């Protein structure tokens, strides 16, 4: 599986910084000063987790966050078609 197979949640961490996470993968998150940095770091974390699963011969868990979980019109695209910011 690739990062594009998962929903990404991006939100502000007060007082400063942004969190990007893949809720379907435990521990797959990044906290950085900007949205862009959080998304880039999340990709690195995803690759690390993906490699760990591969080393164990296990598949990555499927994405469990359905698009129905997000209220209509409450997501906006932040980075690619599958990444969004919960408003």
Domain harbouring 56, CATH code:
3.30.160.250
Evaluate whether 46 touches 54 at the Cβ level (below 8 Å): no
pLDDT tens sequence across 36-59 = 999 999 999 999 999 999 999 999
Q: What is the pTM of this model?
A: 0.73
Domain residues for the domain of 10 are 3-66+74-86
Per-residue pLDDT of the chain (87 residues; tens, 9 = 90+): 899 999 999 999 988 899 999 999 999 999 999 999 999 999 999 999 999 999 999 999 999 765 544 443 333 434 443 444 443
- Residue whose entry in the numeric block shows the structure tokens 């995803």: 46
When divided into structural domains, the chain yields a total of 1
Residues 42/63, Cβ–Cβ less than 8 Å:
no
């Amino acid at each position: 599986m690739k990062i594009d197979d998962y929903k990404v949640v991006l939100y502000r961490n007060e007082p400063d910084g942004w969190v990007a996470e893949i809720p379907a993968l435990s521990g797959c998150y990044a906290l950085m000063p900007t949205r862009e940095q959080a998304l880039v770091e999340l990709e690195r974390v995803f690759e690390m987790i993906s490699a760990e699963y591969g080393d164990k011969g296990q598949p990555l868990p499927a994405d469990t966050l359905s698009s129905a979980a997000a209220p209509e019109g409450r997501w906006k695209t932040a980075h690619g078609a599958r990444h969004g910011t919960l408003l």
